[in-house]
Amino acid sequence: MAKNGIVDIGVYQATMLKEGKPQDEIEQTFNAYHSLVENTFNEFGGKIWRRIIERSICVLHTPTEAVDACIQLLENLVTFNKQRENLLSNSSLFVRVGIHEIEAEDIANVPGDDRVGFAHPALDIAGKLQENCPIGKIAISMEVYEGLGLRQRLFRPTATRLGEKRNFVLTDRLIMPQEENCLNGLLKKQKMAMAPIPFANWDNIKPDEKVNLRTLDEMFREPLLVILGETSAEPKGPICSAATSDAVGMMEVLAALGSNREVRVGIDHWEDTADVVSDRNVIIIGSGTANIYAFALNDIIHPVHFVKTRDRVLDQIVATSKEGELYFGPHASPPKDAGLIIISKNPFNLERTLLWIAGITGIGTQAVANLLRDLILDTGSTLMREDIPDSTQPIACVAGPDIRGVGNDWGISDYYKRLRILDYKIAWMVDRSGNMIQTSKRYA
C-alpha cells in the first residue's frame, strides 16, 4: 500500500519574531515565507494540505521526496533571510520540520473544511517530531529513516526520544546571514555542531526587569543544560584546551543547591548538545578560547565579554556601562585572573534564561563559580559583603580571586594548578539599564 510523506513545518518562535515589529513588516515577511514554502513543495510534486497561522502541513508522494523537499526548503531559507525578504530586523527566521509517513488513502480525500479538526496518528507523530525538532533542522521518524537508503548518512540519532522509538535529525545545518559574524573563525565542524542562533543581538536577549543576579535560584529550579568546553585542543582552530577546574566549580554549585532531576550536561562540540539548547535554561562555562558556544555568543552579550579580534578571543574582559568601557586582565585593570558572570534571555529561546560564567584563567573561573554559589544560596548577604545596596538589580559582574587572610607568604601564583580558590572579590557590576553599580570597596 502506497505511503505518502507527511510534513509538519513550524516557524520557530514566530510570536517572539513578531514582537514589537511594525504590522506591515510582519505581513510582508510571513506572506513571502508562505509563498516560499508552497513554491518549494510544488517543485517536488507536493502540496500544502493545511495551514494554521505559521504552521503548515504538507503532503508529498513519498517520504523520501518529503525529505528532499525539506532539505531544499532549508537552503531556500538562507536566501530568504539574506535577500531581506525577512524584514524582522536582525532576527533569523528558522523553521522546525517533522516528517513521518501516512497511508495515501487516509489523507487524500479529506475535504478542506474537515482538515482543521481531522485527527490521525501519523499527523500526531509528525507534529511531535516538529515540536521537538532542534532549531533549523529536520526530524524524521524511524519509519522514514529506514526507507532513505543512502540518504541515511545525512541524519543522526537525536538526544531525545518520542515514545519507545528513536528518531533522527539532519546532521548538518545551514548558517543564516544574521549569525555569520558570530561563527567566523570556527572550523566547519565546529560551526555544524553549534546550535543555530535565532536571536543574535543584545536588544533581543537583554533580560526582563524581574530577571537579574538576585533571581538566580529560580533558573536553577527549572530544566537546565550546562555546556562545558572540551578538555582537548582543536588543531588550527580558535579553541584551546579547557581547564578541568571549570567543570569542578559548576559541580560544586549544583551539589550545593540540592536535587534538580532536570539537569543535563553537554560538551560544546557534541552535536546533540544543540538538540536541547532551546528547551532549557542554559549555563555556558568558560570563555571563547575553550568553549564554542562562548565563542559564538561573545559579541552578542554586550555588557561584558572578552576582547575578540580577527576571529580570536583574547585574555582580556571588556565591561561596558553608561560610564564607559573598562578592561580587566593582563595589561589592564586588576584582577589579572578576572572572571565574569552575566544573565540574559536564552538566544536560542527567549522564554528561557542564559547564564554565562567564565574566566581569563581557570583561577578566574573558580572565583566566579564561588560567587555564583553564594549569590544563589544567600544573595543578600553576598552583595552586602561587597557593600552593594539592596535596591540594585545587577545582571552582570566581573570578579577575581581573593587570597587575603591566608598568610603573607602566599601569592596568587601559588594557586596555579596546586590549590583551589575559595574566595573572590567583585571588581565591577552593572544593571540592565547600563548603570554601573558602585561599591565602597575596590579590587586591589
Q: Are 246 and 285 in contact (CB under 8 A)?
A: yes
pLDDT for res 133: 94
Going residue by residue through the chain (444 aa), what tens digit of pLDDT does each one get? 678 899 999 999 999 888 888 899 899 999 999 999 999 999 999 998 888 889 999 999 999 999 999 999 999 999 998 876 788 766 789 999 999 998 877 676 766 666 666 777 888 999 999 999 999 999 999 999 999 999 999 999 987 766 667 899 999 999 998 899 999 999 999 999 999 999 999 999 999 999 999 999 889 999 999 999 987 777 778 888 887 878 888 888 888 777 788 899 999 999 999 999 998 999 999 999 999 999 999 999 999 999 999 889 999 999 999 999 999 999 899 999 999 999 999 999 999 999 999 999 888 998 999 999 999 988 888 888 878 888 889 999 999 988 776 656 666 766 666 767 778 889 999 999 999 998 755 665
Three-class SS state of 12: coil
Q: How far is CA 57 from CA 40, 76, 117, 168, 343, in A?
A: 13, 18, 13, 19, 37
| Residues facing residue 436 across a β-bridge | 430
Query: Which pLDDT belongs to residue 442?
Result: 60
Whether the pTM exceeds 0.85: the reply is yes
Q: At what angle do helices 23-43 and 63-82 cross, to 10 degrees?
A: 140
- Give the pLDDT score at 245: 79
3-state class (DSSP) for residue 117: coil
pLDDT at 390: 83
pLDDT score, position 94: 94
Sorted by where each starts, the structural domains of the chain and their CATH numbers stand as 3-174 (3.30.70.1230), 202-431 (no CATH)
Predicted pLDDT at 247 = 84
C-alpha cell at 405: 587572610
Distance CA 137, CA 115 (A): 26
Residues contacting 285, CB < 8 A, separation 6+: 226, 227, 228, 229, 246, 247, 249, 250, 291, 357, 358, 365
Cis peptide bond prior to 330, omega within 30° of 0: no
| pLDDT reported for residue 134 | 93
